[in-house]
Amino acid sequence: MNFGQNNPCYELNLDINENYKTLVLSAFDELKDKNKKYLQPEATKKEFPELWNILGPLEPWFCEKVRIINHTTEDLGTSAIHLDVNEHLQYESTSPDAITQCALNIPLFEPVGDITRWWRQKNPDVIMPYDFWIGDGNSLETHKTNNNIYDMECIYEFEIKNKPVLFRTGIWHNCEQKAPQIRCMLSFHAHYTVDWDTLVATAKKYDLISL
């Protein structure tokens, strides 16, 4: 299952140093009880510009709001198959239902064998971005994978390790954790008007992707 230049994710040659992790954890502590939709606090570039430095030449391609994840995927709902949407209003003045095409995740945990999978729909059903997940947006107890079953085929899988990864988030995907362990990770979304092919081509132009 390798599509060469058409993968739904690419590791990037960007360096994460220990100092960066300290910056992220300090921002998380400052924000954890505010600025959050569901569980993930949101940091803005205005308040925490140093968090954007890691993006290098790709910095202008990304929104000025980043999600700081410090949770299990089950708690976040991302263990269920889903499409990423604008629920954190990372695209200002745009519907929270707008689908986001590309994310750049910065892992700040030791790899533990977690697998992200991408799926292709094999039926004509109208499936909503979070049709495999239920939750009222407030209480943790309601965040659950539901039992909806649609015929889907797995088209790619990837284990996140120590490198930043570009993820195609506008097609069905989910993340399966080996064990329900808290993972610290930043998740940037590319601007609303940036499509996946353009972002991958740009990362290649800057020699951030080795194939």
Catalog residues that contact Fe ion under the rule CB under 5 A. 84, 169
At its nearest, how many Å lie between Fe ion and the CB of residue 169? Answer: 5
Burial of 5 from C-beta contacts in 10 A (0-12 / 13-18 / 19+) = exposed
At its nearest, how many Å lie between Fe ion and the CB of residue 147? Answer: 20
Residues 155/119, Cβ–Cβ less than 8 Å: yes
Q: Given the complex with Fe ion, which of 8 and 41 has the nearer CB atom? A: 8
Q: Which of 159, 157, 132 is nearest to 146 (CA)?
A: 132
Residues 68/43, Cβ–Cβ less than 8 Å: yes
Task: Name the β-bridge partners of 8.
Answer: none
Q: Given the complex with Fe ion, which of 84 and 114 has the nearer CB atom? A: 84
Position of minimal CB gap to Fe ion = 84
Q: What is the C-alpha separation between 211 and 1, in angstroms, rounded?
A: 15
Q: Given the complex with Fe ion, which of 101 and 202 has the nearer CB atom? A: 101
At its nearest, how many Å lie between Fe ion and the CB of residue 117? Answer: 11
At its nearest, how many Å lie between Fe ion and the CB of residue 116? Answer: 8
At its nearest, how many Å lie between Fe ion and the CB of residue 105? Answer: 9
Which DSSP string corresponds to 163-188?
Answer: S-EEEE-SS-EEEE-SS---EEEEEE
At its nearest, how many Å lie between Fe ion and the CB of residue 48? Answer: 22
Ramachandran bin of 88, using left for φ above 0, alpha for ψ from -120 to 50, beta for the remaining angles? alpha
Residue 156: strand, helix, or coil: strand
Q: Given the complex with Fe ion, which of 17 and 170 has the nearer CB atom? A: 170
Residue 30 DSSP label: H
Q: Given the complex with Fe ion, which of 24 and 82 has the nearer CB atom? A: 82
Q: Given the complex with Fe ion, which of 30 and 87 has the nearer CB atom? A: 87
| Chain centre to alpha carbon of residue 188 | 7
